[in-house]
Structure 1
Amino acid sequence: MRISVAVITYNWPEALALVLRALAAQSELPHEVIVTDDGSQPATRELLERIAADYPVRLVHLWQPDDGARMSRARNRAIAAAQGDYVILLDGDMVAEPHFVADHRAFARGGCFVQGSRVLTDAALTRRLLEHEVTMPGFFSRGIERRRHTLRLPLLARWYARPGTKRRGIKSCNMAFWRDDLLRVNGFNEAMTGWGREDTELALRAFHAGLLRRELRFSGLATHLYHRTRKHVVGNPNDRIVDDTRTRGLVRCELGVDRHLAEFAAPPPDLREFVRRPGAGQSS
């Protein structure tokens, strides 16, 4: 079982650096880390080239032009490019605890996808994390919400992970699927742009396909760096797509990952090799 971690990012290289360092320090390393970039400025590419020189696993950078928030398309490109059997979806502001990848492997089961959790930080703690004054927050740290998500308790985690069809709390910032299952439902729905709901719509189609959800609590821990949110957008047009998927019982979306499979029929280059070839162009 090879694990691909797909990290989505947009114009926050300082956070991405912290995320990538955490993935490089895992007790069990993934097969590869794919940074899928929704149109960042050159600072993100420059960061990746610096990090790639001594990164411990295959590191891939996929970039697409900045044409509004196209998270579904960016994630689909990572899924299409992934060489792993299992894909962990992670946001570029989510800092993984050292056993994150090992925990995801332990809770991977056929016929299921996994929904992870996150610790929320305030602006002051996020600043301290970015400045390396602290590494990971603990249960008693100041500036966190959802304090219970700092606790790694594998035995209790097994109790929570009983398969089910819970709809609430879907969030792709910490989520994992077998790659074949993602291909079966055609990945994320690229008709959904702008902020949010693409993860909920994907989960609905997964349920319609017969997959079950395993809740990953007290394991697979990650810390979410503070930033402004658009969570409470009113009249989100993506809600209509979610409602249509639910009403029609759709399994596959029309605009999905299959649009990108031909592009990545050959694996995209490992950025570690790229830095040894001066003058090479940026992935697109």
Structure 2
Amino acid sequence: MQINSISLVISTYNWAEALRLSLKSVLSQTRMPNEILIADDGSGEATKTVIDFFKKNTQIPIKHFWQEDIGFRKTIIMNKAIAAAGGQYIIQIDGDIILHPKFIADHVSEALPGHYIKGSRAMLSPTRTHKILKFKNTDISPFSSGVGSKINATHFASLSHIFRGDKFRSNNLRGCNFSFWKEDFIAVNGYNNDLEGWGHEDIELAARLTNLGIKQRQLKLRAVCFHLYHKINPRHNEDLNYQKYLKVIQDGVIQCKNGIKYL
């Protein structure tokens, strides 16, 4: 199916140098998005400086959505960014992700009505991450030292179909490599703003998409991306958020009460 407009949404929080490399990898894509939306959960001036630099150095519209830093509120700022997206198709990553040059093209070529796409990520070691940040090199080989998950790090499109599966599944989604039709996102009322703190906002959304009848299309060997190493974020509400996810499955919930429609 032809997709006429693509919005790339990047979530970020106070890691300007990682965002710089992520945006650099976006500008190396074989297929460009129609717009880039930065969902910023309260970063400082350094992040704004990076975003302003790229605004001046690319013809692709870049929009910066910012909210005050009063705790982890990713769902709210993601909803605000996606609400403003002009694209019919949304590709979502995190600001600590470096993209393979065919990342966007792969998502678009695999997009199918009635499906969302769950991609994978290759984890980078602390040492490899340090070198990438130091030399600002976004050309990463899957065979380099410090690149984990070799299958996830390898682009081999002709064999991707071997791993692809279209299933009703939600518990394995990661929002750092995720794409969907905006109309499906709206139909489930977007992210659940009642999920506070880190954890499980992505699978809770995926569960409601599943309840709507949207299948997950899993990708391997395509839509390759690399995750820069960082320390684990505080996870105070992880268990509570996971219980809310299980409740969505149990009750067959499609729309959350506090989502994109009530911002």
Query: Do they superpose with TM above 0.5?
Result: yes
One-letter amino acid of the counterpart of residue 128, structure 1:
K
Q: CA deviation at 1:228?
A: 1.0
Mapped pair 1:86 → 2:86: no
Summarize deviations over 1:23-75 as a string: whole Å, max 9, x none. Answer: 01111111011011000011111111122111131111000111100111111
Q: Which has the higher contact order (CA 8 A, sep 6+)?
A: 1
* Aligned-partner Cα distance in 2 for 1:234–1:37: 20
Equivalent residue, structure 1, for 2:162: 159
Q: CA deviation at 1:211?
A: 0.3
Aligned partner of 1:136: which letter? D
Structure 2 CA distance for partners of 1:39 and 1:111, relative to 1, 3 Å: same
Q: How far apart are residue 124 of structure 1 and its match?
A: 0.9
TM-score normalized with structure 1 length: 0.88
> For structure 1, which runs of at least 5 residues remain unmatched after alignment?
261-284
Structure 1 segment 97-246 matched on structure 2, within 5 A? 97-132=100-135, 134-230=137-233, 236-246=239-249
Q: Which residue does the alignment assign to 1:250? A: 253
Closer, same or farther in 2 for the Cα pair 1:118/1:152, shift >3 Å?
Answer: same
Q: Are residues 1:57 and 2:60 paired?
A: yes
Cross-structure match for 2:13: 10
8 A contact 1:196–1:231 mirrored in 2: no
Cα 1:133–1:187 shift into 2, 3 Å = closer
Letter matched to residue 156 of structure 2: L
RMSD: 1.6
Q: Secondary structure at the match of 1:131?
A: helix
Cα distance, 1:232 vs structure 2: 7.3
Aligned partners of 1:94, 1:41: CA distance in 2, in Å?
19
Calculate percent identity across the aligned residue pairs.
32
> CA offsets, 1:87-144, max 9 Å, x none?
0110010111101110010010000000011110011111111122643332221112
- Aligned length in residues: 260
